[in-house]
Amino acid sequence: MSIPLAPDSTIRVRSFDTVAGGTVSVPDPKRVVHLQFRRFAGCPICHTHLRSIAKRHDEIRSAGIREVVFFHTGIDELYEYTDMLPFDVVADPDKRVYREFGVESARRAILSLGGLWAVLRTAIPTTVRILTGRQRPPSSKPEGGRLGLPADLLIAPDGRVLAAHYGEHMDDQWSVDELLRLAAEVTSPRR
């Protein structure tokens, strides 16, 4: 079992290949990185969450935050679900980086009340998007399984973890408002 990173931990600089064919460095030398660990490609809850991030991406970027999102899915399948996202997406089908950052899988991902509520909340809009051709249906056997838990980390340009949240169920992640509030709190000069 890997150990989650706590605030004030430090990560080393590393580069990752993105789904779009580029590379992204974490940490970013000029901006705070919001490092997200999502579940599998096509996960309706992840898709709904990332749409909220994409809608407010300009606002997030203006706050000095760079979005980097990991999925435990291979690059070919992942590209079909994320090609329209305006931020960096990284495939980690072997969950190597997930383990390094202490992101785990557990039955509570789908068995908690919060997770069940998320399924109910996203079922109708997701079904409509699938039926109208605006979204692909999720795989019946996703790489890495369905039990992945989300995680959010804010990482300073020097590699310090400024804030971390490890989800207790599949829909337990920072909202855009929480992200912006946290980033403002942890990056503002202390008085």
Asked if the structure places residue 37 within a domain, the reply is yes
Asked if the structure places residue 67 within a domain, the reply is yes
Q: What angle do CA 107, 96, 135 make, to 5 degrees?
A: 65
Q: What is the pLDDT of residues 78-129, one digit of tens each?
A: 877 787 889 999 999 999 999 999 998 655 556 666 665 566 666 666 667 6
Report d(CA 162, CA 183) in Å as an integer.
8
Asked if the structure places residue 17 within a domain, the reply is no
Count of domains for the chain:
1
Asked if the structure places residue 59 within a domain, the reply is yes
Residue 173 belongs to a domain with what CATH number?
3.40.30.10
Range of the domain at 72: 31-181
pTM assigned to the model: 0.82
Asked if the structure places residue 186 within a domain, the reply is no
What residue ranges of the chain have pLDDT lower than 50? 191
Asked if the structure places residue 23 within a domain, the reply is no
Per DSSP, the residues of 127-188 read HHHHHTTSSPPPPSS-TT-S-B--EEEEE-TTSBEEEEEE-SSTT-S--HHHHHHHHHHHHS
